[in-house]
Structure 1
Amino acid sequence: MKLKYIIVLIVLASAASIIYGFTLKPTEPEKAHKLIGAGTVGLFLVAMPLFLIKESKGKKMKDYMLTKENIEKMKKKERDRLKNR
């Protein structure tokens, strides 16, 4: 199974857990808090890192860091953009 579908499955299961937890809250608050917490953990500690790993494959981290070289490139692009107005 592709990682994309696993991530979607985790997100949907987490969202369902959170929604079900909120519907249970008036009647069974302890179980509701556990479901809401499990859904939150699924989203932020499982799905998000998997998504970031999947999306960052093959990309150079140097391109996204603020180095002197990249700052100069941004300044040059801004000057060129202003010049073309």
Structure 2
Amino acid sequence: MKYLILILTIAAFTSIILGFTLEVAYSQKLIGFGVVVVFFVIFPLFSYHRWKGKDPKDYMLTKENLDKMRENQKRR
């Protein structure tokens, strides 16, 4: 998964850079394709890869987590 994300990222940014540098009729399409791939393919894959196996409740501001944070502040 890590290598797929890396390859797609390189391809998308290459497409964006080539779209800005090349003087061809479809340069705007290259830029658009790169942006679409970054936001609709790479970002969700990266998010899934990084959050796999973790509990989202640990990162939410619930009453229990706020109480833990306040207790940790009092200890310091």
TM over 0.5: yes
Matched, 1:73 2:43: no
- Structure 1: 5+ residue runs without aligned partners? none
State how far apart, in whole Å, the 2-side matches of 1:41 and 1:6 are. Answer: 16
State the alpha-carbon separation in 2 of the partners of residues 76 and 32 from structure 1.
56
Question: For structure 2, which runs of at least 5 residues remain unmatched after alignment?
Answer: none
Structure-2 separation of matches of 1:80 and 1:37: 51
Equivalent residue, structure 1, for 2:9: 11
Shift of 1:16: 0.1
- Cα displacement (A) at 1:32: 1.3
Q: State the shift of 1:10 in Å.
A: 0.4
Identity across the alignment (%):
49
- For residues 9-62 of structure 1, give each alpha carbon's deviation from its aligned partner in whole angstroms, at most 9, with x where no partner exists: 0000000000000002xx33x511111111011111101100110111110011
**AA partner of residue 40 (structure 1):** V
Give the number of equivalent residue pairs. Answer: 76
Alpha-carbon RMSD across the aligned residues, in angstroms, is 1.1
TM norm structure 1: 0.83
TM-score normalized by structure 2?
0.92
The residue type paired with residue 9 of structure 1 is: I
Q: Which runs of 4+ in 1 moved over 3 A?
A: none
Bigger radius of gyration: 1
